[in-house]
Structure 1
Amino acid sequence: MHTTESVEQIANRAGLTPEGVAAAESRLAGLGLLQPCPSGGWAAVSPETAADTLLAAAQKDVLERQSAIAATRARLHALTGEYLEARSMRSAKGSIEIIEGIDNIRSVIDDLARNCTSSADALIPGSSLSEEGIRAAIPLDLETLARGVRIRTLLQHSARKHRPTAQYAATISSAGAQVRSTGVIPSQMLIYDNDCGVLPVDPADTAVGVVLVRDPAVLSFLQRLFDHHWERGLDFTAEEQTNGPEPTQLERDVLLLLAAGKKNEVIAHHLCISPRSVSRIVATLMDRLGATSRFQAGVRAAMNGWLS
């Protein structure tokens, strides 16, 4: 670079227009590759020197942020001892603890899931899971399964008709979870490592609060309750029956009593219709469901969501 040459002189030598030379000088100066000389004109700067000068402020900012992150990490790690001590106190056998507030509930459940080592069992009533709950559950469940923890999740038959819930079941099943469905689930319930149970304070509104149970006797009962319903469940991946239109209200009432094991005469008495009418309705429903027994008709009706 001839530092004392004018823009016009450089343009003539380079075969460019003066405007093009001026634009090039401006771009090179912006990159730090040209520096003005006290005597006039420009001095060329090596790319290495220009890079050091141009990036010095950014590098300083990065170093300051890295130092702040490291300091924050160290302060948090210093609290590990207190956390483990508090967690061991919370896990004392025989204790019952109430957790209120949705954020606190999610935090505690997240903690239990991330620290369980052998099993996580769940009873989930209702015809669907919230999409927000599904988004939160999938990564946590997959991480838990990756640690070798056994997951068993029991849903209601009616949840099969809710696409996001069915997709959630398929996702965790493909990762190794066991998912089944049943007709009736008494209450929402979670059990981790057979060491801690989680029950809702109000089954009608699980966001109100949950009860953490660690009493061995109560946990033993809760585990037997879960196993009782689990053994009667059907694999969620089993192909769902699609058997014609939804039943009428009278047919639904007959199905409910049929599923409860009532005889035709008792059903007729409850519904104030003749036993012959009941026999005809039962025969029609069994044919529509492709069932060979009254029990099978009740199961298939439940899987179709007709008993919800």
Structure 2
Amino acid sequence: MNHPSGLSAAAVQVYRLRVTHPTDSVTELGCRAGLPPEVVVAAESELTRLGLLRTSPAGGWVAVGPETATEELVAATEHEILQLQVALGATRAKMQALSAHYMEARSLRSARGDIETVRGLDNIRAVIDDLARTATTTVDTLAPGGGQGEQALSAALPNDLRVLSRGCQLRILFQDSARRHKPTGQYVTRITAAGAQARCLSHLPTRMILYGDDCAVLPIDHERTGLGVIVVRDASVLGFLRWLYDHHWSQATDFFVDEHESPLGLSSVEAEILSQLASGRTNPTISAELGMSERTVARIVAGLMERLGAGSRFEAGVRAVQLGWVS
């Protein structure tokens, strides 16, 4: 069993004996300790590595106090840390020296009318991190697809909290089904506690992030967001995207407010599914647009058909229009 210091029991015993018997041979010290010579040699090697035992010029050994040995070990480590800190400081200084050049080039890149295409997940994250870091007024997000992925939420949370800490306004618009996704709810709780606003709507047109009146980030293909994004800085396009966002925001309800039922007894999700059903949409299409599982959509569709007394999806759509449930 090892000593609390981490030394073996034999090393502790040899250390004690070397304090009082520095000139004993290995055999003599082994006799005093009741240890075989090879165990004494191994213990002395263990003590030497830690600086607790040194050979004496006059012969024999010198036992060094733990405090002295510790100071010498720590001094070597502190020297290595100091060298690393110097290297880190030099690297930081070199990188900061590029800041002015970067900001100047970025301002040129941000000229109105400019549209930038960004591909690759790492590149997309770098652009979004940069835009979030330099945002000064507002950041508004459309987040379709229901509950968001936990990895995406973890990546977004630090950026969002930094944006809020600088006094920026942060608004996020989710689809209604996100209310039932626990990780998304926990994320919204964190950011709203820091001053953000979050609302829900049954249907959102596309994924989008607006950074004040400076730029917007949209997917190249809203159905395959992994293909890449475009960063838009054109004033006329930004004006339309701002109107689009504010229009949807004005129709949405607070994330933590329960969905209100319509006078017909339909929840907002049921009303949206029924509207899409009347338009001839299939369950997979409805599922993708509302960010819900196909099983959930199928269950709600079956319930609506039963309430309408319809034997088919087509008949359900016709009856819903006849009864005024959908326009």
Same fold by TM-score greater than 0.5: yes
Which residue is equivalent to 1:191? 210
> Which TM-score applies when normalising by structure 1?
0.72
Is there any run of 5+ residues in structure 2 with no aligned partner, and where? 1-19, 280-312
Which residue is equivalent to 1:62? 81
Which residue is equivalent to 2:118? 99
Structure 1 residues 6, 126: closer, same or farther in 2, change over 3 A?
Answer: closer
Q: Deviations over 1:35-88 (max 9, x none)?
A: 222443222334454335444543443333223222222221121121111111
Q: How far did residue 232 of structure 1 move?
A: 0.3
Q: Distance in 2 between matches of 1:82 and 1:254?
A: 53
Q: How far did residue 98 of structure 1 move?
A: 1.9
Q: How far did residue 160 of structure 1 move?
A: 2.1
Contact 1:170 1:237 in 2 (8 A): no
- Of 45-54 and 108-117, the range deviating more from structure 2: 45-54
Q: Which of 35, 56, 60 matches 1:19?
A: 35
Contact 2:278 2:317 in 1 (8 A): no
> Which secondary structure state, in structure 2, belongs to the residue aligned with residue 122 of structure 1?
strand
Structure 1 residues 89, 238: closer, same or farther in 2, change over 3 A?
Answer: same
Q: How far did residue 199 of structure 1 move?
A: 1.8
Which residue is equivalent to 1:225? 244
Q: Deviations over 1:195-231 (max 9, x none)?
A: 2111222111122222222222221221111111100
Q: Distance in 1 between matches of 2:231 and 2:43?
A: 71
> Which secondary structure state, in structure 1, belongs to the residue aligned with residue 116 of structure 2?
strand
> Which TM-score applies when normalising by structure 2?
0.68
Structure 1 residues 19, 152: closer, same or farther in 2, change over 3 A?
Answer: same
Which residue is equivalent to 2:127? 108
Q: Deviations over 1:73-112 (max 9, x none)?
A: 2221121121111111122223222222222111111111
- Of 72-81 and 108-117, the range deviating more from structure 2: 72-81
Q: Distance in 2 between matches of 1:206 and 1:274?
A: 31
Q: How does 1:194-273 map onto structure 2 within 5 Å? A: 194-240=213-259, 253=274, 257=278, 271=314
> Which secondary structure state, in structure 2, belongs to the residue aligned with residue 144 of structure 1?
helix
Q: Distance in 1 between matches of 2:91 and 2:62?
A: 45
> Which secondary structure state, in structure 2, belongs to the residue aligned with residue 173 of structure 1?
helix
Give the counterpart letter for 1:123 in structure 2.
L
Which residue is equivalent to 1:118? 137
Identity %: 45
Q: Which of 142, 155, 165 matches 1:136?
A: 155
Structure 1 residues 7, 273: closer, same or farther in 2, change over 3 A?
Answer: closer
Q: Which of 44, 48, 51 matches 1:32?
A: 51
Structure 1 residues 255, 175: closer, same or farther in 2, change over 3 A?
Answer: same
- Of 19-28 and 220-229, the range deviating more from structure 2: 19-28
Contact 2:278 2:316 in 1 (8 A): no
Which residue is equivalent to 1:42? 61
Structure 1 residues 36, 154: closer, same or farther in 2, change over 3 A?
Answer: same
Which residue is equivalent to 1:301? none
Q: Distance in 2 between matches of 1:273 and 1:11?
A: 96
Structure 1 residues 274, 72: closer, same or farther in 2, change over 3 A?
Answer: closer
Which residue is equivalent to 1:262? none
Q: Which of 171, 174, 183 matches 1:152?
A: 171
Aligned-pair RMSD on alpha carbons? 3.9
Which residue is equivalent to 2:99? 80
The structure 1 segments of at least 4 consecutive aligned residues displaced by more than 4 Å after TM superposition are 5-12, 20-28, 46-49, 240-244, 251-258, 270-275
Question: How many pairs does the alignment contain?
Answer: 268
Structure 1 residues 155, 273: closer, same or farther in 2, change over 3 A?
Answer: closer
Q: How far did residue 242 of structure 1 move?
A: 9.7
